[in-house]
């Protein structure tokens, strides 16, 4: 590995280990919102030797996320539970979480709704999620074909929205359900280390989150988990299809 990459990986390692330490050292049960993608797979890998961890995957019957979640959980060796998604659950969730969903773009709304359903359905009271990686390591489709300057600006815009709007709403939803949700990738030290990685290295270059995937493998994450193709949560879970199938409200 070139010296500059070793330095960047070492900085990420130190920040990530600092963010994960309270979770690893805690003895209380924790749940990991687990889609089987690289973001949550790395968290599961780091927690695999800790007792009291359950991986929780939300999805419609036969959805890619349920298949990936169950397969990846077996590979990591941690207990797994599923949160079954269907039309009636989506309708109830739209009503229950309507206040927090209000005023969001359709994309942010579907992501937050997916997280709300996953949080409500997970068994443990303290939950861990992989929020922040797509914004820091350019995982969204809208980063494709952007220049370095354009990608840097869009990443900062997405991070600002996540911190100011989407993440506080997620935390309020969890609190309203009597739960707590934490995001190690949003720890200030990890965000600082991630943003020190030159934007040129974070560009997708044909594979979303390429730099993050390579770093995850340097920490021991098996390649089949690090390289697994992954749809966005609202698509991989089947939520988006369910939302589109619901009757539209009348005039």
Is there a domain that residue 220 lies in?
Answer: yes
Q: State the chain's mean pLDDT as an integer.
A: 92
Region 113-139: what's the mean pLDDT? 95
Residue at 141 is within a domain: yes
Angle, vertex CA 67, rays to CA 61 and CA 70, nearest 5: 115
The pLDDT of residue 250: 44
Identify which has the larger pLDDT, 228 or 138.
138
In a domain, 250, yes or no: no
User: What is the model's pTM?
Assistant: 0.93
- What does each C-alpha distance from 246 to 16, 94, 232, 240 come to in angstroms? 41, 11, 20, 10
Q: Give the total number of structural domains in the chain.
A: 1
Residue-level pLDDT at 146: 93
Q: What is the pLDDT of residues 36-88, one digit of tens each?
A: 899 999 999 999 999 999 999 999 999 999 999 999 999 999 999 999 999 99
Range of the domain at 71: 3-241
- Which of 67-71, 90-94, 124-128, 233-237 is predicted with the least confidence, judged by mean pLDDT? 233-237
| Average pLDDT estimate for 138-159 | 94
List Cα–Cα distances, 8 to 18, 119, 135, 148, 151, in angstroms.
16, 33, 18, 18, 19
Q: What is the pLDDT of residue 219?
A: 97
The first and second tokens of residue 203, run together, are 């560009």
Determine the Cα–Cα distance for residues 234 and 227; give it in Å rounded to an integer.
20
pLDDT in tens, 215-242: 999 999 999 999 987 777 888 898 988 9
Closest by CA to 247, choosing from 110, 106, 94, is: 94
The CATH number of residue 106's host domain is 3.40.50.620
On whether residue 44 sits in a domain, the answer given is: yes
Q: Is residue 184 part of a domain?
A: yes
Is 15 contained in some domain?
A: yes
State how far the alpha carbon of 96 is from the alpha carbons of 92, 101, 115, 135, in Å.
6, 10, 13, 28
- 251: in domain: no
Residue 162 inside a domain? The answer is yes
């Amino acid at each position: 590995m070139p010296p500059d990459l070793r330095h960047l990986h070492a900085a990420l390692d130190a920040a990530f280990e600092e963010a994960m330490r309270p979770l690893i050292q805690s003895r209380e049960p924790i749940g990991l919102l687990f889609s089987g993608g690289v973001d949550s797979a790395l968290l599961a890998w780091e927690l695999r030797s800790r007792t009291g961890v359950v991986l929780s995957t939300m999805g419609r019957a036969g959805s890619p996320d349920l298949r990936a979640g169950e397969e990846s959980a077996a590979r990591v060796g941690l207990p797994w539970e599923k949160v079954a998604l269907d039309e009636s659950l989506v309708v109830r969730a739209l009503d229950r979480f309507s206040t927090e969903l209000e005023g969001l773009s359709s994309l942010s709304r579907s992501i937050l709704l997916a997280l709300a359903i996953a949080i409500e359905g997970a068994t443990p009271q303290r939950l861990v999620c992989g929020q922040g990686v797509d914004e820091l390591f350019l995982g969204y489709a809208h980063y494709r074909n952007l220049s370095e300057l354009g990608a840097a600006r869009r990443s900062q815009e997405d991070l600002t929205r996540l911190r100011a709007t989407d993440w506080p709403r997620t935390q309020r939803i969890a609190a309203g359900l009597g739960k707590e949700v934490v995001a190690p990738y949003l720890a200030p030290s990890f965000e600082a280390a991630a943003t020190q990685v030159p934007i040129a290295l974070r560009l997708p270059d044909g594979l979303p989150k390429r730099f993050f995937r390579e770093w995850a493998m340097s920490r021991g994450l098996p390649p089949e988990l690090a390289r697994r193709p992954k749809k966005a949560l609202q698509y991989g879970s089947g939520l988006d299809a369910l939302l589109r199938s619901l009757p539209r409200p009348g005039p």
